[in-house]
Structure formats: C-alpha cells, structure tokens
C-alpha cells in the first residue's frame, strides 16, 4: 500500500487542476440551441455515468485478481472501488432525475439507461452489505469477489434486456426527446471531454483515499484482535 501513499498527493493535485480547467470550459461553453443551459447538467451526468461503469470494470478486475492471486491489496482496492462506484452511480441517478425534470417534464422515466443505473446501485449496495454480514473477513472478501464477477457478467445482460424492453414499450415521443437531447457535438464537446478525464482522475484519487482508510481499519482490527486473544 506504499504506492498509494506516493501517488496520492500528485494525483490529488492533478485532479484539482483538471477539475478547475473543466469548470472553466463549462463556464465558457455556449448554450445548446435545443436544450439551452440544461446541457450543463450533462457535463456532470455523462462523465459520472462513465465512472459508475468504469468503477465496476475496475472492481471486476480487482476481484478476479484477488481470487486468482489472493493478494489482499486487490481486495482492498475492490472494496474501495465499490464505495467509489456507488457514489458515482448515486450522482448519475440524481443528476439524471434533475435533468429529466425540465427536459422530459418528469423526475423519473423508466428509460433504459436510468433503469440499468438503478439496478447497478442496488448491486453496489448488495456487495457492501454482503462483505460486512459475514463474520469471517476472508470468507466475506471471497464471497464479495465472486458476487462482483457474477454481477459483472450480468450487467451487460441487464442492460440489453432493459434496452429491448424499453424500446418495445416506450412512447415514441420520449424516445425522440431522448435521442435529440443526449446528442452532444461541436463546441459542446471540449468541456465534456475534459470533465470526463477529470472525473477519471477524481475516481482514482477517491479510490486511493478510500483504500488507505480501509487498510488502516483492517490493521487496527487485526491489532485489536491480537490484543483480545494474545495466545493465538
């Protein structure tokens, strides 16, 4: 975990700089002719949705590594990625709802992407609860890693089933509104790209912070367990 200590400060500074540049571009960006200023919501919503999925990918890779090589570090990173992914998923859902109110007229529509995101949030929550409801931490870590991999395989199936379901059922007006409004191009693109990059850095930084916290907690738990049962 020494590497986390080393990269944390530069990563944090880089994140702050890129977020500031992104914010400046958002401030300068022209309003979209179709959705006006509401496009500024997408500058948060779209990168956040990307991070919600990217965190899961990261989590799956860490889980595979943990099961295969049994590195405790991989498990700590997986636990950290779960918390970070859940935070981004929650932000995606909240910003999607706030965007939907002026654009669709409702806070929530059972649109394919929002529905998959909601399911993703429940899966993240399930992973967190599973880990802490087993008494043996090694068993908890292994069960969580297996569930994370299963969820990783299931996510594409969930996504496609929801897409099929919604495209066969959706009222055409909603589909049209959705297609016209999520499309971003031209001068609106630079802030989106910069903020996407900044969010990736932010996600990595959050993983390092959370991972160090988890590592400290585990060390403390181990010390306390040793103090309680000195003979073992």
Binding site for another protein (CB under 8 A): 31, 36-38, 40-41, 44-45, 48, 67, 83-84, 87-88, 90-91, 94-95, 98-99, 101-102, 119, 122-123, 125-126, 129-130, 133-135, 142-143, 146-147, 149-151, 153-154, 157-158, 160-162, 164-165, 168, 202, 205-206, 209-210, 212-213, 216-217, 219-220, 223
Place of tokens 């599973």: 130
Output the smallest distance, CB 73 to another protein, in A. 16
Output the smallest distance, CB 185 to another protein, in A. 19
Q: ∠ CA 180-94-50 to the nearest 5 degrees?
A: 65
Output the smallest distance, CB 231 to another protein, in A. 19
- From residue 47, how far is each of 40, 57, 96 by CA, in Å? 12, 15, 12
d(CA 42, CA 95): 8
DSSP 199-221: HHHHHHHHHHHHHHHHHHHHHHH
Nearer to another protein, 148 or 178 (CB): 148
Is residue 124 within a helix (H) or strand (E), and if so which, with residue range? helix 112-133
Output the smallest distance, CB 205 to another protein, in A. 7
């Amino acid at each position: 975990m020494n590497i986390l200590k080393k990269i944390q400060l530069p990563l944090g500074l880089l994140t702050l700089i890129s977020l500031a540049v992104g914010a400046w571009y958002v401030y300068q960006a022209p309003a979209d002719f179709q959705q006006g200023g509401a496009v500024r919501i997408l500058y948060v919503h779209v990168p956040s949705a990307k991070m919600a999925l990217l965190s899961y990918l990261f989590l799956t890779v860490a889980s595979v590594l943990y099961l295969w090589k049994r590195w405790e570090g991989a498990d700590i990173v997986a636990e950290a990625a779960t918390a970070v992914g859940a935070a981004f998923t929650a932000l995606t859902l909240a910003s999607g709802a706030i965007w939907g109110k002026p654009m669709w007229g409702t806070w929530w529509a059972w649109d394919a992407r929002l529905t998959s995101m909601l399911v993703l949030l429940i899966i993240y929550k399930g992973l967190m609860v599973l880990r802490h409801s087993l008494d043996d931490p090694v068993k908890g870590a292994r069960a969580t890693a297996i569930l994370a991999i299963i969820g990783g395989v299931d996510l594409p199936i969930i996504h496609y089933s929801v897409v099929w379901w919604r495209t066969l059922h959706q009222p055409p007006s909603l589909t049209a509104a959705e297609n016209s409004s999520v499309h971003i191009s031209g001068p609106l693109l630079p802030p989106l790209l910069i903020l996407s990059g900044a969010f990736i850095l932010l996600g990595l930084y959050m993983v390092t912070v959370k991972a160090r916290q988890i590592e400290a907690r585990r060390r403390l738990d181990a010390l306390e367990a040793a103090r309680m049962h000195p003979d073992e």
